[in-house]
Structure 1
Amino acid sequence: MQPARALLDSCSEVNFITEETAKRLQLKRVFSQQKISGISDIRSNSKYAVNATIKSRIGNFTCISQFAITKRISTHIPCDFIHTFKWNIPEEIQLAHPYFYKPQSIEILLNAEIFFDSLQDGKVSLGQGLPCLHNSKLGWIVGGNFGTPSNSRPSICNVTLSSNLSNIDSVLQRFWEIEDLTEKSSTLPEEERLCEWW
């Protein structure tokens, strides 16, 4: 077992692992063609996957699942260093990731199934304008907005849908409709078309 920084995505249909993390863990990859789509219907492909066991660093929660391999999951999260010294996080609370406030790369994305399976009773509000702590089998996780939104800071939203290969015909049809460069029949009178041609 080795530590890995995970992002819980309550909307994702797919688990992801970065190529670098899969290599570090020496996981055997298998061919697993997946069409992936996200925000604004941006699409990509994943050709390989690995099976991996996820274990909570502070509890007994264990999960075996398949992870699609991708070069990168997200930008660093958070985007900027978060000053938490005034948050008054209770000392008895064991955070899933004690250094969540430091910008770091995401190595694993856990899908909606694992996200909801890991939730437990317990929520602690840190105060107005601050996020909440939510209890999970992975430890307490931090979620919510804090402070004043900054226009200079990029917004991060992760939603991943797995497209079934059965709809490949409609995807190809959309592609050809977008890429169709054939000339449309002209509705100009004959003399105007001749002028345009010259």
Structure 2
Amino acid sequence: MKSSLIITITAFGLLQGHLSIAQTAAADNKPWQAITFQPIPKGPSFLGAFEGRIPCVGIVPQLKLKTAADCEKLKCRLVLFHDPSTMQPANFEFRIVGGGEVQWQDGHSYRLTNLEGKWSKEKGMPSDQEAEIYVLEPAAIQAKLYLLKGDNNVLFVLDENKGFRTGNENFSYTLNRVELVPGK
């Protein structure tokens, strides 16, 4: 019994050590490439593209999205633009596959919403008054979407009160920076 406990503790320690190494930031971390069939934003006003697969729970009513009753995830792509002379936030494009109106392509259907609007930066959230928060204000709906800037490569989708959302075993409320590359 004692040896199996020692083996379990050792294995857990090795796993923890491995996981902590995998999560460590490095100078050579680069965004992964994401294939797109839409025009790729370029130029000095393009700040970045972020993607993620987030749970439907919570965000669907907030953004007033239509989804299937069994919706598990939304595939999201956020593109941020800024004023190149002032470096201040300007506009955004937020593509959400899995929520929205039904679209047909090659005999198959899917749901799609494209939200556009202005974004800004705020300081502070209940758990961290120094946190940098991106505030998206879609033109088509009366809602704000709050994103916590983790670093230059990751954004966390917050709730309406700027609190953390809890994902599940398959999906998190995280958007990661990607490099958009053309599909063939």
The structure with the greater share of residues assigned to strand is 2
TM-score bracket relative to the smaller structure:
under 0.3
Task: Report 1 or 2 for greater relative contact order, CA contacts < 8 Å, sequence distance ≥ 6.
Answer: 1
Normalised by the length of structure 1, the TM-score is: 0.25
The structure with the greater share of residues assigned to helix is 1
Which of 1 and 2 has greater Rg? 1
